[in-house]
């Protein structure tokens, strides 16, 4: 970090810190944060402070974005980049929050080449070099009661990391000490294995949505990595180890944390 950038970072942290009371009130309801160590929570708070300062939060369809909402999104977005750095979220600025699922109209081409107009209700979407869009209702649900392999904030920000390579294709820029061939072969084999299981009606531990394409596969396995890492490691150790190498961390198991704190 050069001197000017370091000075600017320290200035932001000094002048615009997330108030401790606000931070505590929001994150005590977020297992993704509360399950972390004291030092990790402190680092996440610093990253979230810088994130909120750099990004613009906008409400849609009547939503007024409160500080609590901004912290909820920022804190959990920064879990994924805990050891990657905030610059991995550079190149875009806006987060848009809808009250619930939002409608997107798209042209879909079928197997015969015929174009159909389709309307989808989504809980989240990431645009390349554009905004990240969320349903606030889905954020609240996933954040406070994480379900195995399902966390909309983690999912959409995984797409943002993936897009650093130019497009979302399940191939984010890897660290110099990681093998591109190993990454490609491992993720491709796991994705094709999921496609085969679904085609043959076999039970699969993973959300079938991961079979949509390699980009969605990466986003979904990232959800599993951060919400139920033990299960992911049990089902595919090699896949888990690659994600551990990419994200530079070993997440705590939220299922165990939830059980421990709700007995």
Express each pLDDT in 113-144 by its tens digit: 665 565 566 888 999 889 999 999 999 999 98
Q: Give the separation between CA 153 and CA 205, rounded to whole angstroms.
A: 21
Nearest to 80 by CA among 254, 256, 253, 251: 251
C-alpha span between 176 and 181 (Å, rounded)? 13
The burial class, CB within 10 Å (0-12 / 13-18 / 19+), for 9 is middle
Q: Which residue has the tokens 């992911």?
A: 232
Higher pLDDT, 6 or 178: 178
Residue that wins the pLDDT comparison between 11 and 242: 242
The pLDDT-based confidence of 17 (bands split at 50, 70, 90) is: confident
Task: Work out the burial of residue 129: count CB atoms within 10 Å of its CB; fewer than 13 is exposed, 13-18 middle, 19 or more buried.
Answer: exposed
Q: Is the pLDDT of residue 182 over 50?
A: yes
Q: How far is CA 240 from the centre of its chain?
A: 16
- Residue 157 CA to residue 76 CA, distance in Å, equals 9
Cβ atoms of residues 125 and 86 within 8 Å = no
Per-residue pLDDT of 69-92, as tens digits, reads: 999 999 999 999 999 999 999 999
């Amino acid at each position: 970090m050069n001197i000017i950038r370091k000075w600017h970072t320290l200035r932001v942290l000094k002048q615009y810190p997330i108030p401790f009371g606000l931070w505590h009130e929001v994150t005590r309801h977020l297992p993704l944060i509360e399950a972390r160590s004291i030092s990790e929570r402190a680092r996440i708070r610093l990253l979230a402070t810088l994130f909120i300062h750099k990004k613009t939060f906008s409400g849609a369809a009547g939503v007024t974005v409160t500080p609590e909402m901004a912290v909820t999104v920022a804190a959990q977005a920064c879990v994924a980049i805990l050891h990657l750095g905030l610059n991995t979220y550079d190149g875009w600025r806006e987060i848009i929050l809808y009250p619930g699922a939002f409608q997107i109209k798209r042209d879909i081409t079928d197997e015969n080449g015929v174009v159909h107009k389709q309307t989808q209700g989504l809980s989240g979407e990431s645009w390349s070099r554009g905004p990240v869009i969320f349903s606030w209702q889905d954020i609240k649900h996933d954040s406070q009661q994480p379900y195995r392999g399902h966390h909309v904030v983690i999912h959409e920000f995984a797409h943002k990391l993936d897009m650093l390579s130019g497009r979302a294709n399940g191939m984010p820029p890897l660290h110099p000490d990681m093998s591109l061939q190993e990454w490609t072969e491992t993720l491709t084999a796991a994705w094709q294995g999921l496609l085969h299981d679904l085609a043959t009606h076999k039970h699969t531990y993973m959300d079938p949505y991961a079979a949509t394409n390699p980009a969605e596969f990466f986003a979904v396995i990232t959800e599993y990595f951060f919400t139920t890492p033990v299960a992911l490691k049990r089902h595919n150790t090699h896949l888990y180890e690659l994600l551990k190498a990419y994200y530079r961390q070993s997440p705590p198991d939220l299922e165990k944390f939830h059980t421990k704190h709700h007995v």
